[in-house]
């Protein structure tokens, strides 16, 4: 049974619960430790990876959840046709061995500019390590197939404004879920862009493995990813086992990412919701060994 918070959107006023809200000096220290090095990485730019300035590459990772994927496609189509006014977006589906039915439905939905189809499930990390270099964008918006995009106004320009003004921000978290209250959350005071868009800075936990890098629904600088290196790869274990791919993606890789970058959470900008009405992806544990790296 899923916990109740996973079924709820973040309330208004916000529920910070047991999250640790740190003072300005603590945030300033975390920024100081990263900003100069982050600025050097951004200045090097194409020394780390190729990209088209200003382009956002929306990447959807799918594995054998056709109804959820089609629901996400419907929400993406409505949002980008009717609400979002930022013009430079490419949409990429990365499918992990779902088979012909899902691929045919995805093509018929006409939601994606490119489909990367793997005939077998490679595991989350291998599929994304393959996909991210193929993204043309300066920024990558990563979404898993069981999310829905539900937001009343455009948000991409605001996100890019945060990136432009704050080099230490490598990733922006966009999930609308009532989970901010968790005691390991470390959240700095509000800051603002020149246009007045307010955002919180999420700092890493003591071990550095949580709060900054995340899966699900995030927008990150492509250069930030390649400056840290590829995702760690291991056996494609089920979620009830240690060292499963979700743990490697968020915690092991997150510890490396957090040393160089911080995360933003923009006020009143939580466009992606995970209904949590589907079972875990059939891909978890499906492949005996996705390869080690």
* Predicted confidence (pLDDT) per residue in 200-220, tens digit: 999 999 999 999 999 889 999
C-alpha 269/C-alpha 281 separation (Å) is: 27
User: φ, ψ for residue 108 (rounded to 5)?
Assistant: -65, -30
Q: How confident is residue 288, by pLDDT bands cut at 50, 70 and 90?
A: very low
Give the domain range for residue 169. 14-273
Render pLDDT for 19-59 as a digit per residue (tens, 0 to 9).
999 999 999 999 999 999 999 999 999 999 999 999 999 99
Task: Report the share of the chain in percent with pLDDT over 90.
Answer: 83
In a domain, 58, yes or no: yes
In a domain, 36, yes or no: yes
Burial class (CB in 10 A: 0-12, 13-18, 19+), 258: buried
Render pLDDT for 137-160 as a digit per residue (tens, 0 to 9).
999 999 999 999 999 999 999 999
In a domain, 278, yes or no: no
| Summary mean pLDDT of the chain | 92
In a domain, 184, yes or no: yes
In a domain, 280, yes or no: no
Q: Can you give the pLDDT at residue 281?
A: 66
**Is pLDDT at 291 greater than 50 in this prediction?**
no
Q: What does the block give as tokens for 106?
A: 């995805």
Which pTM value belongs to this model?
Answer: 0.94
Render pLDDT for 72-110 as a digit per residue (tens, 0 to 9).
999 999 999 999 999 999 999 999 999 999 999 999 999
Q: Can you give the pLDDT at residue 284?
A: 61
C-alpha 71/C-alpha 29 separation (Å) is: 42
Query: How many other C-beta atoms can be found within 10 angstroms of the C-beta atom of residue 277?
Result: 11
CATH number of the domain enclosing 233? 3.90.550.10
Contact at 8 Å (CB) between 141 and 149?
no
Counting other chains too, the contacts that 244-249 makes at CB distance below 8 Å and 24 or more residues apart are 244/284, 244/285, 245/123, 245/124, 245/125, 245/284, 245/290, 246/124, 246/215, 246/284, 248/125, 249/124, 249/125, 249/128, 249/215
Q: How far is CA 2 from the centre of its chain?
A: 22
Q: How confident is residue 280, by pLDDT bands cut at 50, 70 and 90?
A: low
**Is pLDDT at 289 greater than 90 in this prediction?**
no
Q: Can you give the pLDDT at residue 292?
A: 36
Q: How confident is residue 244, by pLDDT bands cut at 50, 70 and 90?
A: confident
In a domain, 283, yes or no: no
- Total domains in the chain come to 1
In a domain, 287, yes or no: no
Residues 101-124 have a mean pLDDT of 95
In a domain, 291, yes or no: no
């Amino acid at each position: 049974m899923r916990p109740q918070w996973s079924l709820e959107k973040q309330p208004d006023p916000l529920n910070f619960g047991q999250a640790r809200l740190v003072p300005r000096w603590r945030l300033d220290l975390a920024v100081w430790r990263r900003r100069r090095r982050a600025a050097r990485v951004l200045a090097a730019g194409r020394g780390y990876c190729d990209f088209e300035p200003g382009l956002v590459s929306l990447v959807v990772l799918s594995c054998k959840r056709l109804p959820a994927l089609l629901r996400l496609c419907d929400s993406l189509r409505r949002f980008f046709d009717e609400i979002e006014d930022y013009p430079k977006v490419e949409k990429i589906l990365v499918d992990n061995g779902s088979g012909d039915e899902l691929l045919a439905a995805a093509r018929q939905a006409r939601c994606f500019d490119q489909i990367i189809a793997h005939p077998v499930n490679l595991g989350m990390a291998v599929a994304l390590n393959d996909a991210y270099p193929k993204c043309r964008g300066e920024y990558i918006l990563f979404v898993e197939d069981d999310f829905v995009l539900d937001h009343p106004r455009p948000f991409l320009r605001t996100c890019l404004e945060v990136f432009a003004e704050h080099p230490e921000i490598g990733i922006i978290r966009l999930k609308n879920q009532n989970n901010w209250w968790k005691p390991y959350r470390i959240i700095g005071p509000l800051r603002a862009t020149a246009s007045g868009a307010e955002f919180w800075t999420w700092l890493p936990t003591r071990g550095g493995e949580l709060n900054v890098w995340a899966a699900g629904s995030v927008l990150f600088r492509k250069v930030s990813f390649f400056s840290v290196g590829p995702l760690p790869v291991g056996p494609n274990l089920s979620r009830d086992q240690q060292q499963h791919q979700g743990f490697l993606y968020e915690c092991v890789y997150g510890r490396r990412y957090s040393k160089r970058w911080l995360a933003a959470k923009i006020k009143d900008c939580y466009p992606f919701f995970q209904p949590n009405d589907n079972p875990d992806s059939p891909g978890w544990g499906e492949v005996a060994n996705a390869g080690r790296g």
